[in-house]
């Protein structure tokens, strides 16, 4: 079971039960992952989804749902974080929050990232990104 | 405009009657299947007179119409919330009076059976020189049509209404996997869950009430009970679909196999609680304690087995139904032998 704690992931088009609120999904995950106090509040602020957190997911836009999936991927202390198409449907502030989180987790906790994306990552923000182009897909490695 | 009417009618009206065909068949059988064809007219005339003369009876009819209105309302919510019907929101581009006219027409068409029966009641009331009763009945039905039309208009105007409800309570219950599955049944499968549970409990209660000390034979009650339990398969199949689509992330979470199994076991137990309460109520008379325990135990094993099958294999609804029928056949033979 231990290795599962070390991996966080978010899929390209995440789906969650619409009858639950964002807070309930986060509580469910954090109950299993035993997250540190304050981590959820911090991630909510970083990704800017605090205002919607008590509303049912059925009313969330795809961008908001994407942010929730990203938040869940960063929950706990993962050593590797796998993000499938992390840039799609994100707004500007969400994108900035995500890139800041990637830098922070890499610098502070030594986390590695595996990102699969059709869009290039901003090189000025993540300068040490390594890319591996596979026919139509791009796999980018950071650190 | 006419093509718009046709599309609107197809999605909002025809789809409703197609979906509710079983319900209408049931109502038809209740109203027309219980009396001889030769006395149908007299029966219904007596019924309408009873409605007009007895306020309590009239109250029941109004309640039934109100419930039908709720059924229509739920259908409108479902349809307008469905991604396939999102293009209907284009109707908002029409002048408001045209949109409202669409809604009123659809509402009247959806409430057709109520309007029809109300018209007959009103005609009888007028013929019996009680026009005020006719006005009351027609007034109520007009209000119902208006309320449904307004609800439809509101839904069209404000898409996603009521979906983003905020939880105001400061206390938050702990979210467990079993509670998510239960919430799914209560939130998105209310009707089916209620039907399955009421059927199962009512069958159990009615068949066990018939048992006496002189004529104590539990074979038929058990078979009927197990058939009702196999009806839970539809709920499990839907839960499993939820797990493989919208709860996919749970697979990768660090949860031990034993704990996962325990969550399903607890979920099945909670689902069986109403039947257990009915059994407890009927113990020790007319059913003996040992038999009540056997019913509860076997019922639990059946439910757990039904869920376990879905965890082991991905089955289409038709294949799952066939498997359930095979299992029921095996159980049928075993029950005959055990209690024979």
Judged by a CB distance cut-off of 8 A, whether residue A80 touches chain B is no
Mean pLDDT value across residues A36-53: 87
What digits encode the pLDDT tens for the residues B74-105?
Answer: 888 888 877 777 787 877 788 888 888 888 98
Distance between CA atoms of residues B209 and B164, nearest Å = 46
ipTM of the complex: 0.85
Is B155 in contact with B163 (CB distance < 8 Å)? Answer: no
- B317: Cβ contacts below 8 Å, ≥ 6 apart: B234, B237
Q: B102, exposed or middle or buried, with CB in 10 Å at 0-12, 13-18, 19+?
A: buried
Contacting residues of B for A60, CB less than 8 Å apart: 164
Distance between CA atoms of residues A39 and A77, nearest Å = 10
The size of chain A, in residues, is: 143
pLDDT of residue B44: 85
Judged by a CB distance cut-off of 8 A, whether residue B257 touches chain A is no
Distance between CA atoms of residues A121 and A127, nearest Å = 9
B80-100 core/surface letters (b: 16 or more CB in 10 A; e: else) = bbeeeeeebeebeeeeeeebb
Instruction: Work out the mean pLDDT of chain A and round it to a whole number.
Output: 86
> Inter-chain contact A19–B183, Cβ cutoff 8 Å?
yes
Contacting residues of B for A32, CB less than 8 Å apart: 253-255
Distance between CA atoms of residues B123 and B132, nearest Å = 12
pLDDT of residue B150: 92
Helix or strand (DSSP H, E) at B239: helix B233-245
Interface test with A, best of B246, B250, B263 (most A CBs within 10 A): B246
Structure tokens at B206: 């009615």
Q: Is the pLDDT of residue B129 over 80?
A: yes
Confidence of residue B160 (pLDDT cuts 50, 70, 90): low
In angstroms, the separation between the Cα of residue B252 and the nearest Cα of chain A is 7
Maximum Cα–Cα distance for chain B, whole Å?
A: 75
Q: Is the pLDDT of residue A33 over 80?
A: yes
pLDDT of residue B334: 82
More confident of the two residues B158 and B265: B265
- pLDDT > 90 fraction of chain A, expressed in percent and rounded: 43
């Amino acid at each position: 079971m231990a290795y599962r704690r070390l991996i966080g992931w978010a899929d390209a088009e995440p789906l969650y039960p619409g009858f639950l609120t964002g807070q309930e999904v986060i509580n469910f995950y954090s109950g299993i992952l035993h997250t540190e106090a304050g981590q959820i509040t911090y991630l909510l602020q970083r990704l800017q989804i605090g205002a919607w957190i008590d509303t049912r997911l059925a009313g969330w836009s795809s961008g908001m749902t994407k942010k929730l999936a990203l938040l869940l991927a960063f929950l706990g202390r993962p050593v590797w974080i796998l993000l499938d198409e992390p840039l799609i449907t994100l707004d500007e502030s969400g994108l900035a929050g995500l890139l800041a989180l990637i830098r922070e987790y890499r610098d502070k906790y030594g986390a590695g990232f595996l990102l699969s994306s059709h869009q290039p990552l901003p090189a000025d923000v993540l300068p040490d990104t390594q890319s591996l182009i596979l026919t139509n897909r791009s796999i980018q490695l950071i650190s | 405009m006419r093509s718009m009417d046709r599309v609107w009618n197809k999605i909002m009206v025809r789809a409703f009657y197609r979906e509710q065909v079983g319900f209408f068949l049931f109502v038809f059988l209740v109203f027309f299947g219980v009396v001889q064809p030769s006395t149908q007219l007299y029966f219904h005339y007596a019924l309408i007179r009873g409605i007009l003369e007895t306020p309590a009876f009239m109250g029941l009819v109004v309640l039934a119409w109100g419930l039908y209105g709720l059924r229509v309302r739920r259908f409108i919510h479902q349809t307008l919330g469905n991604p396939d019907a999102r293009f209907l929101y284009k109707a908002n581009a029409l002048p408001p009076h045209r949109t409202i006219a669409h809604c009123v027409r659809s509402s009247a068409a959806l409430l057709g059976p109520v309007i029809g029966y109300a018209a007959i009641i009103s005609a009888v009331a007028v013929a019996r020189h009680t026009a005020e009763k006719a006005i009351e009945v027609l007034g109520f039905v007009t209000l119902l049509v208006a309320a449904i039309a307004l609800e439809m208009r509101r839904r069209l105007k404000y898409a996603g209404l009521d979906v983003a409800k905020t939880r105001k309570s400061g206390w938050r219950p702990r979210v467990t996997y079993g509670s998510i599955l239960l919430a799914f049944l209560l939130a998105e499968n209310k009707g089916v869950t209620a039907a399955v549970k009421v059927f199962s409990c009512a069958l159990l209660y009615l068949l066990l009430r018939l048992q006496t000390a002189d004529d104590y034979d539990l074979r038929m009650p058990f078979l009927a009970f197990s058939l009702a339990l196999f009806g839970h398969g539809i709920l499990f199949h839907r839960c499993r679909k939820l797990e493989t689509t919208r709860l996919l992330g749970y697979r990768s979470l660090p949860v031990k196999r034993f704990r996962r199994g325990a969550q399903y076991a607890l979920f099945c137990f909670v689902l069986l609680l109403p039947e257990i309460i009915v059994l407890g109520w009927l113990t020790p008379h007319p059913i003996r304690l040992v038999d009540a325990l056997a019913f509860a135990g076997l019922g639990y094993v059946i439910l757990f087995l039904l869920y376990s099958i879905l965890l082991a294999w991905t089955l289409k609804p038709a294949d799952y139904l066939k498997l359930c029928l095979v299992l029921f056949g095996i159980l049928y033979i075993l029950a005959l032998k055990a209690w024979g």
